[in-house]
Structure 1
Amino acid sequence: MQVKIHSLKFDADKKLEEFIENKVNKLNQFYDDIISAEVILKVDKDQSLENKIAEIKLKISGTELFAKKQTKTFEESTDTAVDALRRQLTKFKEKQRGK
């Protein structure tokens, strides 16, 4: 699977990019036909501590899945977004089997 990472208005370090790639690539365990993933990282202008946003868009055969999470760190945001996508992939797979 091809993983593209975009960080808006800041430069993500190599360690963060590797963390994200590892997390997103683990989604292949739940569904084999993932074509690509696009991850967008951005900082919300909000003054709260939970201002790190991770948006992940998965392209799979026939559709796209999307998750957006906002927490204190990019790692935590990525983690929760990947968990949400894992649940979406499981539901999508169950629907495919039902047809």
Structure 2
Amino acid sequence: MDVKVQAIHFAADQKLINFVNDKVNKLELFYDHIISSEVFLKVDKKASKENKIAEIKISIPGKELFAKKQCDSFEEAADLAVDALRKQVKKHKAKISA
């Protein structure tokens, strides 16, 4: 799967990019027809503590799934967003196999 990670208004280190790639690639264990994914990492200047935002969009045949989470760290936000997408992928897979 093609994973594009974009850090908006800051420079993401390679360790963070690798972490996000690994998490997103694990979605293929649940559904192997994922075409591509885009990850946007942002820092919300308004919020003081939980200001790290991870938005993940995955493309599957005929549909796009999206999750956005805001937490203390990018790792936590990406983890929660991937969990939300895993639920969406399982739900979609159950729909098409029914």
TM-score interval, smaller chain: over 0.9
Q: Name the aligned partner's letter for residue 44 of structure 1.
A: D
Gaps of 5+ in 2: none
TM-score (normalised: structure 1)? 0.97
Gaps of 5+ in 1: none
Count of aligned residue pairs for this structure pair? 98
The change in CA–CA distance for 1:47 and 1:65 in structure 2 (over 3 A counts) is: closer
The separation in 2 between residues aligned to 1:79 and 1:48, in whole angstroms, is 21
Structure 1 residues 1-99: aligned runs within 5 Å: 1-98=1-98
- CA deviation map 1:5-37 (0-9, x unaligned): 000000100000000000000000000100000
C-alpha RMSD over aligned residues: 0.6
The separation in 2 between residues aligned to 1:38 and 1:76, in whole angstroms, is 17
The separation in 1 between residues aligned to 2:51 and 2:39, in whole angstroms, is 16
Identity of aligned residues (%): 60
